[in-house]
Amino acid sequence: MVRVGDADNDLTSGSIRIRAHHLLCIQGFQGLGYSKEFTKNMAQIKDELLNNPSSFIRLVIGVDSICECCPHNSKGICSKGHTSENKMRVMDSLILRNLGIEAGSVISSKYIPSLTRNLSRETVFRAINGGNHSLFLW
């Protein structure tokens, strides 16, 4: 595994926390979501990350800046179903493992498209199928 970025670097201290599997969701986001608040938040984060190459993200396993407005976020735990939190963590771990990046790494948002392009179709399918995410349209 590779640790990218320095968690204590002043340039990256304002990084946006992003679950690893949300790298896929951000690119496939089409304005649909769990609620109006969630959709608005997701759209704002997507716009910031994909249109501002000076933004930084901290890749995490667990609740992130996108999850903050999700109606299923219950004190930092996905409560959509009794196994949802575990499924989300498995998806995050799968994506990080296949990218060769450690949780907590900070990267420039300009690398999001090239990172996910390096994932195999099988990895993407396994990640989105594992969480049954309908927000990501292949």
∠107-4-104 over CA atoms, to 5°?
80
Q: Which amino acid is at 26?
A: I
Of residues 97 and 27, more confidently modeled: 97
Q: What is the pLDDT of residues 30-74, one digit of tens each?
A: 888 889 999 999 999 999 998 998 899 999 999 999 999 999 999
Q: What is the pLDDT of residues 6-42, one digit of tens each?
A: 444 444 568 999 999 999 888 888 888 889 999 999 9
High-pLDDT (> 90) share of the chain, %: 47
Provide the mean pLDDT of the chain.
Answer: 83
On whether the CB atoms of residues 42 and 33 are closer than 8 A, the answer is: yes
Q: Which residues of 14-23 are buried (b: 16+ CB within 10 A; e: fewer)?
A: ebbbbbbbbb
pTM score: 0.80
- Alpha helices by DSSP H, listed for 4-135, are 22-28, 36-51, 84-99, 112-117, 121-130
On whether the CB atoms of residues 112 and 24 are closer than 8 A, the answer is: no
